[in-house]
Amino acid sequence: MYLPEDIDDILRNREAEILEFKEAKSNFDSRDRSDYCAAIANAGGGRLLLGVDNDRNILGTSVYAGAIEKIPHEVYQIIGVRIIVEEVDHKNGRVVVFDIPARPVGQRVRSNGHYKYPIRIGESLVEMDDETTRNILNEVQPDFSAGIIDGLDLSDLDMAAIDNFKKQRAEKTGNLRIISTPTEQVLQDAELIRDGKITFACLVLLGKAEKIAKFLPQDEIIYEWRNTKGQIHHDFRKLWRAPYFIIYDEIWQTINVRNLRIPYQEGFIQQEVLAFDEKSCREAVNNAVAHRDYSIGGRSILIQSSPESFTVVSPGGFLSGITEDNVLTASPRWRNRLVAEALERTNFVERSGQGIDNIFEASIRQGKGLPNFHGTTNDTVQINVPAKVQDAEFIKFLEKVANEKQISFSFNEIYELEMLRAQKTLVSLKHKEKFLKLGIIEKIGKTSGTKYMLSHRYYSYEKKPGIYTRVKGISREHKKYLILEHIKREGQGCRSDFLDAFPELKARDISNLLQELKKDGKIERIGFDTTGYWRIKEDSN
């Protein structure tokens, strides 16, 4: 609890990243509040004082009078940081003090104000720069899987699992001598044991089932099959609590026994795609084993499949800095680095952190569309991979273009095109120049209103010209014609009328259309601001 003399002591300190004074006599904008709280947390924590000017004079404030107890919850709901707020009756006026803790290790605090991730530079708030972001996200966090388990030794490991690990290591490295190398040496080299002691990573991958049940009972994988997606009760269920290097093949075989072959026609040839792609399924499970939060008790990795989709649910949310939007582009990071590196040392994964890319690419190239992370929360990651072919013609169209032009499409390019196919139009494309040159896409609109859609050539190939017409919408000239008809019919027109007529357009787009009509001598502006309107120019034809 702060006393008036505590405020005097604080005011003797210089204003810096960890100490901010705001006059805020009667009002403090909630966006500014979020920005300053986030910036101070990002700088390592500190205080924000309201009712004090930049010269450290107490002027007093009436902000939050009678509602001070609500503020910590409001701030937490927005930026996810638990602050303490107190009011102090100083002789020179009321002061409100925000005590703001430091951001979590490896995490940035996000604001909903004028900045996304604010920091202070001098006396100003600015957007966090790339270097600061990288430094924060690269901060070392404790690796649970590297922890030592007292009381375990080599006799507590499963020999069959160790043999599988050695074989996988030998195949990956091309060094067959690994198979005959003493176990302790192999595990020491892989850092699964340290100074002869067993790590949690070693237990997860190679430990005997009874030792896993005793020391890490949440290390289990559950598989459920449902004949219909969305039904409550499963039609088949299996549970594994055993070393991963024993069960990894059995997990895939259990999934594959219910695999479905999806036929589609390619010219006169009947082709087929499997509902559950082996590489994608293995990658998804590997990813869950490497990234799940093993410190969360009572929760398992859950695999769910149905004729419609394949889903893996993993305890523990995305790592700091990773979201559904950037999961494909963010730098690889690991919650259990030792587990991830052990898998990378074998043929389980090509390169640690690349698994999600492989899953997305396989799904797109098989015409199944985009996987998604629907169902992901702060303490759960859920990846959903479609099992049904949605648009085989799309991929065949891209293959036709690639063969004609003797080119290939990278994963990033087909991902962007799939996003365009699924959403129909996009405002921005990184590879738009290449796509335009190949005739795969075309522009809609001009200047700031420009959007991109798949070309008429694609929809003709799909034999769906009607969809092309619907996606492209009304031409610019036709919109101007309808605006003129409205003004002629009503005698006048204002921008709000045309926003109602074209709800897909922004106010700026409407203004551009009106200015073009004015420039062409068709209409003129009468009045200004909100009371003004447009009418047909008297001398126009």
User: Do 513 and 479 form a contact (C-beta atoms < 8 A)?
Assistant: yes
Reported as type and span, the H/E element at residue 183 is: helix 183-189
Give me the amino acid identity at 401.
V
Specify the pLDDT at position 501: 85
Per-residue pLDDT averaged across 209-223, rounded? 96
Specify the pLDDT at position 484: 92
**Chain length of the chain:** 541
* Residue 450 banded pLDDT, cuts 50, 70, 90: confident
Which of the pair, 242 or 499, is modelled with greater confidence?
Answer: 242
Q: What is the 3-state secondary structure (H, E, C) of 43-90?
A: CCCEEEEECECCCCCECCCCCCCCCHHHHHHHHHHHHCCCCEEEEEEE
Per-residue pLDDT averaged across 198-205, rounded? 97
Window from 30-34, 303-307, 390-394 with minimum mean pLDDT: 390-394
Specify the pLDDT at position 57: 93
Categorise residue 369: left if φ over 0, alpha if ψ from -120 to 50, beta otherwise: left
Partners of 454 in the β-ladder: 441
Q: Strand ranges (DSSP E) for 201-358? A: 221-225, 236-240, 261-266, 269-274, 301-305, 309-315
Is residue 339 over pLDDT 70?
yes
Mean pLDDT for the chain overall: 88
Specify the pLDDT at position 91: 92
Instruction: Tell me the backbone φ, ψ of residue 127, rounded to 5 degrees.
Output: -75, 140
Window from 225-229, 236-240, 290-294, 461-465 with minimum mean pLDDT: 461-465
Highest mean pLDDT among 107-111, 198-202, 490-494: 198-202
Q: Starting from the edge strand earliest in sequence, which strands make up the sheet with 84-90, in order?
A: 19-22, 46-50, 93-100, 84-90
Q: Please, which residues have CB within 8 angstroms of residue 474's CB and are 6 or more apart in sequence?
A: 482, 502
Specify the pLDDT at position 103: 86
* CA–CA distance, 126 with 122 (Å, rounded to integer): 10
* Residue 528 banded pLDDT, cuts 50, 70, 90: confident
Q: What is the pLDDT of residues 162-201, one digit of tens each?
A: 999 999 999 988 899 999 999 999 999 999 999 889 999 9
Per-residue pLDDT averaged across 447-462, rounded? 84
Specify the pLDDT at position 512: 87
* CA–CA distance, 218 with 356 (Å, rounded to integer): 24
Q: Which of 36, 32, 96 is nearest to 67 (CA)?
A: 96
Is residue 80 over pLDDT 70?
yes
Is residue 9 over pLDDT 60?
yes
* Residue 242 banded pLDDT, cuts 50, 70, 90: very high
Specify the pLDDT at position 178: 93
Which domains occur in the chain, in start order?
4-137 (3.30.950.30), 154-386 (3.30.565.60), 392-472 (no CATH), 476-536 (1.10.10.10)
Which of the pair, 211 or 298, is modelled with greater confidence?
Answer: 211
Is residue 527 over pLDDT 90?
no
Window from 101-110, 230-239, 344-353 with minimum mean pLDDT: 344-353
User: Do 382 and 373 form a contact (C-beta atoms < 8 A)?
Assistant: yes
User: Do 218 and 296 form a contact (C-beta atoms < 8 A)?
Assistant: yes
Residue for token pair 């925000």? 98
* Residue 464 banded pLDDT, cuts 50, 70, 90: confident
Per-residue pLDDT averaged across 335-349, rounded? 87
User: Do 487 and 536 form a contact (C-beta atoms < 8 A)?
Assistant: yes
What percent of the chain lies above the pLDDT cut of 70?
94
